[in-house]
Structure 1
Amino acid sequence: MIKLRKRQIKPTVSLIDLAPMTDMVFQVLLFFIISSSFVVEPGIKVNLPKSQTSELQVQQKLIITVDKSQQIFVGNKVVPIEQLEERIKFLLPYYQDKMVVIRADETVPHGLVVKIMDISKTAGAQKLAIATEKKE
């Protein structure tokens, strides 16, 4: 009878190269970091009143800020209330929505905010909004 020899199979160690996968994960992470949009608020510090229905405002609107010392800012420039209508009339055509967002400190008198709203409407604003912070 013929003796059959069993072939000895050497166990092979298979390694998976993780370098390409690491590169892909890094590229996907980099893509999300670069493509994500960051909302940056204008640089004037105000304490906005709290609201449960607050939403982030897109920067495509003309933003008027009133700080606690009742200084009025259009963009980052201080504008006296006497020149506010003229400034709004000049800037409003550059904004598609013709929307004015008023960011007033919570300590600013209500009357001043209403006066700014009136001036904005007179200057041609089609929409008005008051910025608030979401209650936590």
Structure 2
Amino acid sequence: MAFGRTSLGSTATGGRAIGAGGQRPLSDINVTPLVDVMLVLLVIFIITAPLMASSIRLDLPRTDAGQPTDTPKFVSLSVDAAGRLFLNDQPVTAEELAARLQKAAADSRDTEVQLRADQTVPYGKVVELMGIANKAGLSRIGFVTEAPARKP
């Protein structure tokens, strides 16, 4: 049996090419698997980050000021279709309204006025009530509405 001579640099034997005319070595890195792993890690961190924030156990100091269980204070001001005024569901006149709103503002400047007006009440009347509340010192006014009826 005769064996042929092969060189170590021959491409026929699976070795790398040495010299001119041979193939160049591959120098590009495939980053697709790296991107896949990074996206999976990002999703894991997004999901677990909120859970880790509440896991810290602290012995906080105690105080009576600003308890988180305090409910926000508000007064309900309503105007029906006839123009009658109601403060916390009790009928009032415009003069009584101003005095009671000033008292509510004196108790707490953060008191919110929840204004409920019938849709037939003129806009001018609503603006007048907003002015009375603002003069009394209550600048937080919220408009209460109803959601439209759902269509079947």
Instruction: With the length of structure 2 as denominator, give the TM-score of the two structures.
Output: 0.46
- 1:97, distance to aligned residue in structure 2 (A): 2.8
Provide the rounded CA distance (Å) in 2 between the counterparts of 1:101 and 1:90: 16
Tell whether 2:136 aligns with 1:87: no
| SS of equivalent to 2:114 | strand
Counterpart in 2 of 1:73?
86
Question: Is this contact kept in 1: 2:75–2:113, CA < 8 A?
Answer: yes
Tell whether 2:69 aligns with 1:62: no
Structure 2's unaligned 5+ residue stretches are 1-70
| SS of equivalent to 1:133 | coil
- 1:71, distance to aligned residue in structure 2 (A): 0.4
* Percent of aligned pairs with the same amino acid: 30
- 1:89, distance to aligned residue in structure 2 (A): 0.9
Deviation per residue, 1:31-74 (Å, 9 max, x gap): xxxxxxxxxxxxxxxxxxxxxxxxxxx88311101111110000
Q: What is the total number of aligned residue pairs between the two structures? A: 79
| SS of equivalent to 2:113 | strand
Deviating beyond 6 angstroms after TM superposition, the runs of 4 or more aligned structure 1 residues are: none
Instruction: With the length of structure 1 as denominator, give the TM-score of the two structures.
Output: 0.52
- Residues 1:96 and 1:123: Cα distance change in structure 2 (over 3 Å): closer
| SS of equivalent to 2:125 | helix
Provide the rounded CA distance (Å) in 1 between the counterparts of 2:125 and 2:82: 12
Match of 2:144 among 108, 123, 131: 131
Equivalent positions of 1:100-111 (< 5 A) are 100-111=113-124
- Residues 1:105 and 1:95: Cα distance change in structure 2 (over 3 Å): farther
Provide the rounded CA distance (Å) in 2 between the counterparts of 1:117 and 1:62: 13
Between Structure 1 and Structure 2, whose CA radius of gyration is higher?
2
Counterpart in 2 of 1:120?
133
Structure 1's unaligned 5+ residue stretches are 1-57
